[in-house]
């Protein structure tokens, strides 16, 4: 679970985040931290819609490579689908 301190840094710096909810890249949420409590985080998407998400998801800067949650990585064999190098 992400700490209050890390969420505050993302909010103050205005960092665009990626919220990874599962193995499917299409289900990721991109946006900015607005507020949070003990169980959830409020994210403002670029469309200005607000989304309330669980704090147990993976929150990371959008500029970093996508990280799959450990529980999901174990279930799919540790590699994300589509990450194989074509030779």
Model pLDDT for residues 38-57, shown as the tens digit of each residue: 999 999 999 999 999 999 99
Residue 68 burial by Cβ neighbours in a 10 Å radius (0-12, 13-18, 19+): buried
Q: In CATH, what is the architecture of 4-76? A: Roll (2.30)
DSSP code string of 55-71:
TTSEEEETTSPP---HH
Q: What are phi and psi of 61, to 5 degrees?
A: -60, 140
The structure's pTM equals 0.78
Confidence of residue 23 (pLDDT cuts 50, 70, 90): confident
Please state the domain extents for the chain.
Answer: 4-76
State residue 78's pLDDT score.
Answer: 55
Of residues 25 and 31, more confidence is placed in 31
State residue 22's pLDDT score.
Answer: 87
Model pLDDT for residues 61-84, shown as the tens digit of each residue: 999 999 887 766 666 665 555 454
State residue 75's pLDDT score.
Answer: 61
């Amino acid at each position: 679970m992400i700490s209050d301190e890390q969420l505050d840094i993302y909010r103050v710096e205005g960092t665009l985040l990626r919220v990874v909810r599962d193995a499917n890249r299409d289900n990721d949420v991109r946006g900015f931290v607005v507020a949070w409590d003990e169980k959830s985080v409020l994210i403002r998407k670029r469309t200005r819609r607000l989304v309330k998400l669980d704090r147990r998801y993976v929150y990371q800067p959008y500029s970093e490579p996508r990280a799959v949650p450990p529980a999901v990585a174990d279930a799919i064999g540790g590699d994300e689908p589509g990450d194989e190098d074509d030779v």
